[in-house]
Amino acid sequence: MNQFGENVFILDHPLITHKISILRDKNTGTNEFRQLVEEIAMLMGFVALSDLPMTKVPVETPIETADTYVIAGRKLAIVPILRAGLGMVSGLTALVPSAKIGHIGLYRDETTHKPVEYFCKLPNPIEERIIVVCDPMLATGGSGVDAINLIKKHGGKKIKFVCIIAAPEGVKKLHEEHPDVQIYVGNLDRELNKNAYICPGLGDAGDRIFGTK
């Protein structure tokens, strides 16, 4: 258990932390950055999906009938929060090629500060699927909270949130608003700065994945 309580998992795994350290380096170029985000997503997904329900199926081996186990239930839904979350999709689908992919796009209205949904397309029926929401950076927690509100509004129930780097403020907010959601964090950073960037962080994940700025 950590300072946030149940359902928050700070992975701090050597393989993940090593790759995140390279991501943090401002001299890491777009190509390597994108590749690392994919690899980290895969490593994190391996941990985050370790409690998937299994069902028993008999299989004829060349020797005898064996009771084997396969993943139970509906195909998983992977839901990146646009745009940076897209960088994690290939790593997660490498683990679960049969997964369906939804997309959520949100922005904050500058005057009302309310989230405005500009895109939401989720696989049906969403209520029966395990849903993995991904966004590399959990900063204030605002878009994570809003995205999960939206998924729940559409009927989503079993939700996991996977992020590469988080600020304590974001983890606290997301966990308080959605205590039922399992939150997986690669590295927990120190704090947010006044522009809501994670410190030390890695800068703007979307710009670094897509080579924009």
Decide if residue 128 touches ligand URA (CB under 6 A): no
Please work out the total of residues on this chain that contact ligand URA, with binding judged by CB under 6 A.
Answer: 9
CB of 64 to ligand URA, least distance (A): 53
Query: What x-and-dash track marks residues 132-161 binding ligand URA by CB under 6 A?
Result: -----x-x----------------------
Between CA 99 and CA 190 the distance in angstroms is: 34
204 has binding-site annotation: yes
208 assigned to active site = no
| CA separation, residue 49 to residues 41, 42, 44, 70, 97 (Å) | 12, 10, 9, 13, 13
Q: Which stretch binds ligand URA (CB under 6 A): 74-82, 92-100, 147-155, 201-209?
A: 201-209
Q: Is the peptide bond before 179 cis (omega within 30 degrees of 0)?
A: no
The yes or no reply on residue 183 touching ligand URA (CB under 6 A) is: no
> CA dist 31 to 37, 104, 188, Å?
10, 25, 24
> Phi, psi at residue 28, to the nearest 5°?
-70, 125
Give the Cα separation of 208 and 137 in Å (integer). Answer: 12
- Choosing from 17, 146, 207, 212, which is the catalytic residue? 207
List residues forming the annotated binding site for 5-phospho-alpha-D-ribose 1-diphosphate.
83, 108, 135-143, 204
Residues in touch with ligand URA (CB under 6 A): 84, 137, 139, 197-198, 201, 204-206
